[in-house]
Amino acid sequence: MSKKEQHSFSNILSVNPYNNTYVSAVASFLNETSSPQFNKQQYVISHLDTKGFINSHISVSKNIPQEDLYDAIYNKAYDELGLDQAITYQIQYIEVFNNLDEDHRNFHVFIIDPLVVNDVFKTTVEKLKYVDYIIPSPLLLKSLYTKEIIEDRGVHCFIYFQENDTFLAIYNDQDFLYTKSINYSLRQMHERFCEIYGELVEYENFISFISNEDLKTTQSPYKLHIIKLYKEIFSNINDILTYVKRALEIEKIHHIYIDSQIASVTHIDEMAEFELGIKSSNFNFNYGFESANAQMEHLHCLMQIFATTPESNRYDCNFSTFHRPPKFTQRDSGKAILLVAATFALAFLYPVSYWSLTYAQTLQHKLLEREYHDVHGAKLTREAIINNKTNEKEKVAALVEKEKQDYIEKKNTLIKIHDVKVNYPMKANLLHMFSKDLNKFEVRVEHAIYSEKEGTTKTSSSIKELKLGLVSTNDKKITGLIEYLTKIYEGKFHFSIEEISYKDESKLYFGELKVSLL
């Protein structure tokens, strides 16, 4: 809210539509109220949880004129992200100023189904009639830098646990870089804790424990299971940070700010620093407000400081379609009343026919709108089921591929072990057996090769063969040796030699004796 806007309102009302909490700020004092009412003099701000929208990065040519920029981003988002052409999504964006890219302009885009916005803010709009500003919750953190609440530069990671969502956001040198919803909201943490504990624990008891019990000192039977749950959460966060650093070429996360929607005696920032090895703090910033509630939800504080930040120093990303009523003469209803009055003045020209047509069109519109809502809900449910099954299929395929690789590695290892345990001792035993006979006939062994081959038929076993390279000064010694071995080991081995050659250079005879085990 600009300074001009700020002076025109008596108070700022921040709204959390997910738990229906409302905080009003007059000057610097915050007061939580359970029964807000419509008031034209108040400025209303709210937020969208990260799991409710799609966040991505899009580049467009610098040659596109400013007046055509939204259409270019809108069309490219549908093409690159595969959005459903049947849905007219709300798309907002913030520009990323990258001096290294001379040909393109880069943007972070935030995309949401309008029906989601309508469902989330249905109760709020019924009470307040309008919402001036609805912003994705990770972008609220920008005001911490604008207001110089955080003065450090570098890469900062923010993690905030809520009842129905937990978001992780990364800022680099005080500019938004990345955000993701992680599957560990307080509700999901409760479900996972029950799985680990092996028994159903009431949600209220779970919240009471993590709020009031210190894991360092408690003797509760829940302690070890809660610690296991936190370790699982931080393991998941570590995987996300590893991916982000690799994908976005970040060398180091300098600081983590981590906290929860509910107050906790256990310092999860200390646990985060121990598990992740990164300096960590909680969200207890000096927001500059006074409040009767010492445990004011941090998102309300962030919305309040965002609303008092000048427009030029904050991200412009407003998803609100619930605009405050304009002046009577500028409202559609006001124009209709004036038109009706003019119509009466012109002697009720065709009033009955126009009223009937209007009623019929309105009724038809409501019927079509109700039908679209039902069909759209069924479509989203089926898409979720398909995506879930696809993810499961990919996980199973990855596991199968890993098992194949493990099988190949184990098979190769066993082959090597077999070669060492079987082939080498067998060759040594045979050489030892024939050594006396070789010495007797004064025949030396130049080389020895032992091998095993599969049989040529289904009934035959493997063929074991030893090849000995024989060297002697006389060919008769070699032939004598073969005759002797054939007689001595008849029925145990089969001996054969193809030729005995003579080399003039060495004045020696050479031959390769094949010994087959019968």
**Residue pair 81/111 in contact by the 8 Å Cβ criterion:** yes
- Tell me what pLDDT residue 324 has: 84
Q: Which residues, at least 6 apart from 474, have a Cβ–Cβ distance to it below 8 Å?
A: 509
Reported pTM: 0.63
| Mean pLDDT of the 219-223 span | 88
The band of 313, judged by pLDDT with boundaries at 50, 70 and 90, is: confident
For the chain, the straight-line distance linking the first and the last C-alpha, in angstroms and rounded, comes to 96
Instruction: Count Cβ atoms below 10 Å from residue 433 Cβ, excluding itself.
Output: 14
Q: Shortest CA distance to 495 belongs to which of 483, 478, 507, 480?
A: 483
Across all residues in the chain, what is the average pLDDT? 87
Q: What is the CATH superfamily name and number for domain 150-284?
A: ATPase, nucleotide binding domain (3.30.420.40)
- How far apart, in whole angstroms, are the C-alpha atoms of residue 469 and residue 215? 75
- For 382-424, what is each residue's pLDDT tens digit? 988 898 888 889 989 889 988 888 888 888 878 777 665 555 5
Tokens of 276: 């992740």
Domain range 441-517, CATH architecture = 2-Layer Sandwich (3.30)
Q: How many CA atoms lie within 13 A of 334 on its CB side?
A: 7
**Residue pair 468/451 in contact by the 8 Å Cβ criterion:** no
Whether 26 has a pLDDT exceeding 90, the answer reads no
- Tell me what pLDDT residue 2 has: 42
- Rounded to the nearest 5 degrees, what angle is found at the Cα of 266, between the Cα atoms of 263 and 268? 90
The CATH 3.30.70.2830 portion of the chain extends over 441-517
Whether 456 has a pLDDT exceeding 70, the answer reads no
Ranges of H-type helices in 419-460:
424-440
Domain 1-149+288-325 has CATH 3.30.160: no
In this structure, which amino acid lies at residue 38? F
- How far apart, in whole angstroms, are the C-alpha atoms of residue 380 and residue 389? 14
| Mean pLDDT of the 463-472 span | 88
- How far apart, in whole angstroms, are the C-alpha atoms of residue 147 and residue 151? 9
- For 149-181, what is each residue's pLDDT tens digit? 999 899 999 999 999 999 999 999 999 999 999
The DSSP 8-state label assigned to residue 112 in this structure reads E
- Tell me what pLDDT residue 6 has: 43
- Helix (H, G, I), strand (E, B), or coil: what is residue 326? coil
Which helix (H) or strand (E) segment holds residue 180: the answer is strand 175-182
Whether 342 has a pLDDT exceeding 80, the answer reads no
The CATH 3.30.420.40 portion of the chain extends over 150-284
**Of 181 and 380, the one with more pLDDT:** 181
Residue 339: phi, psi to the nearest 5? Answer: -65, -40
The DSSP 8-state label assigned to residue 277 in this structure reads -
